A and B are shown apart, each in its own frame.
Chain A
Amino acid sequence: MSQLHVRKLSKMFGGVQALSDVDFSVEKGDLVGLIGPNGAGKTTAFNVVTGVMAATSGGVEFEGTDVTHFSPERRARLGMTRTFQNIRLFDDMTVRQNVMAGAHARAGRSLLHCVFGLPGHRAAEQRIRDIADRMLERTGLTELATRNASELSYGDRRRVEIARALAGAPTLLLLDEPAAGMTDTEKGRLSKLVSSLNEDGLTIVLVEHNVRMIAALCKRLVVLNKGELLTSGAVDEVLRMPEVKTVYLGRRRTEVV
């Protein structure tokens, strides 16, 4: 059974068909690249899979549960977290607080515990802090922990988003253009982080434009074009397909011409 199964997924924005009948699956432990030219529907696919937007038709199954009508928070609690193409950090909070907020759903949520400091409250708070500190270390952000999220560089902000998504203990992580705006050094570090997370058993789906990075990192690719599934399969096979070259690398070929 696949960990994530997307079937016949469609999304309309008014009269625009952003996704039409897209099918793909992601196996546990996989590292999948979701690629396609601008406007192919990659971010829309992420939004519908994570519940940020409702599907027009079709369904999403996660670990055997039909989550099509679940709220984003419910899907996240089942183990599906994400980052955003346009970084959405909590700018008035420190880096550590951002990541701790990411772990909130794992703590007991009792108001009474919090207000009266009932037994277990302090331990739960400490656990959240420990989780956050582990994630900060994992993503190399420990030294920036007390800085305000708004003060960080673009690349660091992207990493805070990943740390925050990790703090929710996901089994499936969706990264929307995690390398956008990063320097080459930062991209290298990101690639290392992503593959080490995957080696630890985390399933990852990422949207990315950089073909070299995708070729080096991903095991499988799902290619979208104009809202439709073009193809999916092993990385080298997919990248060799002429139709993929045409749509995805088309721009580059015309440049050469």
Chain B
Amino acid sequence: MKRLALTPIQAFFLLVAAMGVLVLAVEASGNGYFQTFTALMLVNVMLAVSLTMTNGFTGMFSLGHPAFMTMGAYVAVLFTYPVGRKGFAMPALPEVIAQIHLPLPVAALVGGLFAALMGWLIGRLVVHLQTHYLAVATLGLIIVVQTFALNLDGFTRGGRGLTGIPREATLALIGVSTVLVIVLCWRIKHASLGRAMLAVRENEMAARCFGIDAFRLKITAFVLGAGIAGFCGALLPHVVSVMSPKSFGLILAFNLIAIIVVGGQGSILGAVIAAVFISLGSESLRMVEESTGVYGVTQVIVAVALISFLLVRPKGLFGLKEPFIRTS
């Protein structure tokens, strides 16, 4: 039997078709629960794919995604919150911005760009840190950003959180974004840029010895990851209509790491598959939790899955590889 192997172009059309069917079917179902779940799952896919680029391609160990999501989310909400209620909810907002209302796709891009800019500023300081030092630094970043969000209550309403954020994140918007993020990361991985990043991951000093600027590539991967995280963070409050400083925190950072470890650090398809399965799994477990009253089972099971993979199959499902797709 011949092994299934699509060309990248065929895989792209398959992805577009699958996404189209999923979005249309879920929209047509008219079921709000399915719609929200699908939206959250697709955002998880984007987050996982971008983290597998930042961490998996270059060998860095950043936990910073939730920090950049928080930044992106609050910046985007500044532009999408109903103008009439901004004076009440965000009294510190300058009049100029208070008058502006942007459609979500634009606001989310602004949020993503802001997160990317912050990623560049922070990345210049931290990406030279090796492995767990970077993990600790980015862990700290999550806390710092949450504290800022909590205390900048003139913009964020602090711990009370913002409610009534317009549910403008349509499934179509999220579906298209997901395809774009996957294509972006795929193109990078299979270009010279991606090979150079992988070289840095495999052996940084050897890579530098034939002219690869490791620092620059790490910054590139970190900033792109931060930008995509910021964009995803901007979409989420427009799915669930609320946002608080604690929305994106340590547990999310941990879950994302679990997803990319299970998928295989550096495998885009692995990240997609793992994100879908872990989203489905934790959602069904959540229902079990609610019916049995035993809360926290989901987190335990995700953690156990992570530990089992690290013990039995440390390279995850696919390692660096992209299964089912022919690559040179």
| Interfacial residues, chain A to chain B (CB-CB below 8 A) | 50-52, 71-73, 76-77, 81-82, 84, 88-93, 96-98, 100-107, 109, 111, 114-115, 117, 121, 124-125, 128, 164-165, 167-168
Contacts and interface: CB of A to CB of B under 8 A. Distances in A.
A73 B193 contact: no
Given A115-B187, A117-B187, A125 B209 contact: no
B220 interface: yes
B320 A73 contact: no
27 contacts: A73-B211, A76-B208, A76-B210, A76-B211, A82-B209, A88-B206, A89-B206, A90-B206, A90-B207, A92-B202, A93-B195, A101-B198, A101-B207, A101-B212, A102-B210, A103-B192, A104-B195, A104-B196, A104-B212, A105-B210, A106-B211, A107-B192, A109-B213, A114-B187, A114-B192, A168-B210, A168-B211
Interface in B177-230: 184, 187-188, 191-193, 195-196, 198-199, 202-203, 205-214, 220, 224
A25 B156 CA distance: 65
B319 A100 contact: no
Contacts of B320: 92-93
Contacts of B187: 114-115, 117
B211 A115 contact: no
Contacts of A90: 198-199, 202-203, 206-207
A84 B210 contact: no
Contacts of B192: 100-101, 103-104, 107, 109, 114, 124-125, 128
A169 to B, nearest CB: 9
A98 B198 CA distance: 10
A11 B18 CA distance: 60
A91 B202 contact: yes
Nearest to A121: B191
Interface in B157-174: none
A178 to B, nearest CB: 15
Contacts of A76: 208-211
Contacts of A102: 210
Contacts of B206: 84, 88-90
A135 to B, nearest CB: 12
Contacts of A77: 211
A93 B191 contact: no
Contact of A88 (B195, B205, B212, B319): B205
Interface string B240-275: 000000000000000000000000001000000000
A97 B195 contact: yes
A111 B193 contact: yes
Contact of A101 (B199, B213, B220): B199
A105 B191 contact: no
B253 to A, nearest CB: 25
A211 B241 CA distance: 76
B202 A125 contact: no
